[in-house]
Structure 1
Amino acid sequence: MRRRRSSLWSDVAFLFFLVLCYVTILYVAGDPNRYMENLFFLNIAFLLAVITYFTNVTAGLVLNVAFIFAYGGYILYRSVTGGEAIGTGSYYWMLLAPLLTLAVWLFTWESRQLQEENDDLKEQKERLATLDESTDLKTTLAFQKDLSVFAGISERYGIPLTLVVIRVKYWNEMRRFIRADQLSDAILDISKISQASIRTNDTLYLLDRENVTWGLLLFTDREGAKVVMERIRSSLTQFNTQDFADKYKVQLNLKIGAVAYDKSKVESAIDFVAQAQRQLEYDV
């Protein structure tokens, strides 16, 4: 409802701005004898509106007050020195300038409200998202939530739990050789290697998209994790020879590490991931 109201006010302000412009065109065209004078004041009115657009309504209104006083002094000077009568048309620019400023401010304010709301929704989406958009893999947020569940099952039933972390070697260097529009495809293709090497009840997570890192939560011990790691390496060798090197013009290499879950040594999900990542240093 709030978004609809903001959009409505923004549309009303824009239409009001167009009406003012149309009326001004008629006013300027209706008095050819004062064309240059009216054109000069029209530029000032638009300048005040532009300043309001890039600053705020307070600055715009202060400048409009200064303009009204200056314009009023100008009319009074012409009336005294030239004997010109002060007609209703003399007040046109006194009304147009602040109305134009208010229209622009209202349109800008509502647009900024919509932009702020859009930014808030994006932040909320990123904060609450449990799936990566391009790969459909679970994210770090999902990993933190799932770890507490898996750890509880592991402790209750005495089932060993192991985290396997997979990272692409020299990813930052590889990105220079892969086109920007192919990066998501590359991440997805590498993810498929790991997905094809695990059981259906094991879970794959995309822990870091920048320095691409995956995590596997396995209900197995270190020895069982080594079997999975070897399957991933075997799949990688086949994938390098068949698809990846031809498609992306680079050779793919992975670093794989694993650490078993120990409640006494794991302070949090982030600490668990950090322990597994330290194991990557031994995979050279």
Structure 2
Amino acid sequence: MTNKHQNANLYIDVCWLLFLAAFAGTAILMALSGHLILNTIYLFCTIVLLLMTYFWGLLTGLVANFLFIAIQIIIVLYQYLAKTQDIPWPLMFWMVQPLMLSVILYFLTINQTYLQQQSRDLQTALIERGAFDAQTNLRTRVAYQEDAQVFIETNRRFQLPVSTLIIKIRYYNDLRRMMTAEQLTELLQLASSTIKKITRDNDITYLLDRDDPTWAILIYANTDGARVATSRIKEGFDKAFRDNPDLTNVALALVVGVATWDPETMKTPSDFMEAGLKETQYDVS
């Protein structure tokens, strides 16, 4: 998969270079041929052929190009046989350039489409595994369990303090009955983006529950350091809430529970998370 991805990127770069070179060659030949009106007409036809290739595929593009070539040949033969005009040799490049540009554009398009599809498949796989929330771009409970195990192992090996912050919206069940669906969506996005923005680069933010919005953060800090982060998150949320015109008529506040990993009382990441959830009940600030 990695080699295919790298090859697709390489093909795109090569196709872009060839496409630009072919267009530059076309511009030079147009300038040298000197037939302004015919060149303008042929250029417009070439753009139409490129659009047909882009939207309807290579087969349609080839058929349209061969039809364009046939029309040019018929016109030239008519002019030659009727003795109305000599064969315009300087314009013969229009029999080749549109076809060449269409083929290059097709290969450029299919490689770009491949990379876009790979990106969509990757995001879908993450969502299906439950490790990624598509709406908020945050990791989920599944990812929290896996990452917490890494933090716990780091604590065991290097004695680094590890804490988790569990964040909820105060009185959410009551607020939900008073808010519209649009306001609830806006609230979820606002809280998620604010929490993620305020945390440090090496802190990881998770959305544990969408129905009863619950976020979590894993940090390398002791309890005091985690409480400093708690104050920073609450202040940032209050400011973002005041600046949001869609939520100004709702009384919103966060509750945050802080738990520091204790191997004596905790055995699993679930214990760690549950300790943080329990602490949210005592946050009355």
RMSD over equivalenced CA pairs, Å: 4.5
Separation of aligned partners in 1, 2:137 and 2:100: 51
Aligned to 1:27: 29
Answer with 1 or 2: which has the greater Rg.
1
Q: Displacement, 1:11? A: 1.2
Give the secondary structure class of the aligned counterpart of 1:176. helix
Separation of aligned partners in 2, 1:137 and 1:93: 54
How many aligned positions are there? Answer: 199
Moved more, 75-84 or 61-70: 75-84
Q: Which amino acid aligns with 2:191?
A: L
Contact 2:194–2:237, Cα closer than 8 Å, also in 1: no
Mapping 1:129-148, distance limit 5 Å? 130=131, 138-139=140-141
Aligned to 2:112: 111
Q: Deviations over 1:130-179 (max 9, x none)?
A: 37697977526878xxxxxxxxxxxxxxxxxxxxxx88223454963867
Change (3 A) 1:85 1:212: farther
Contact 1:140–1:206, Cα closer than 8 Å, also in 2: no
Output the TM-score relative to the length of structure 1: 0.55
Contact 1:175–1:183, Cα closer than 8 Å, also in 2: no
Q: Displacement, 1:19? A: 0.9
Separation of aligned partners in 1, 2:65 and 2:126: 42
Change (3 A) 1:173 1:47: same
Separation of aligned partners in 1, 2:54 and 2:113: 11
Q: Which amino acid aligns with 2:75?
A: Y
Identity %: 22
Separation of aligned partners in 1, 2:70 and 2:17: 28
Aligned to 1:8: 10
Contact 1:128–1:141, Cα closer than 8 Å, also in 2: no
Mapping 1:148-227, distance limit 5 Å? 168-169=172-173, 170-171=175-176, 173=180, 176=183, 182-184=190-192, 206-209=207-210, 211-214=211-214
Change (3 A) 1:252 1:135: farther
* Structure 2 gap ranges (5+): 146-167, 197-205, 217-230, 242-247, 256-285
Output the TM-score relative to the length of structure 2: 0.55
Mapping 1:42-57, distance limit 5 Å? 42-57=43-58
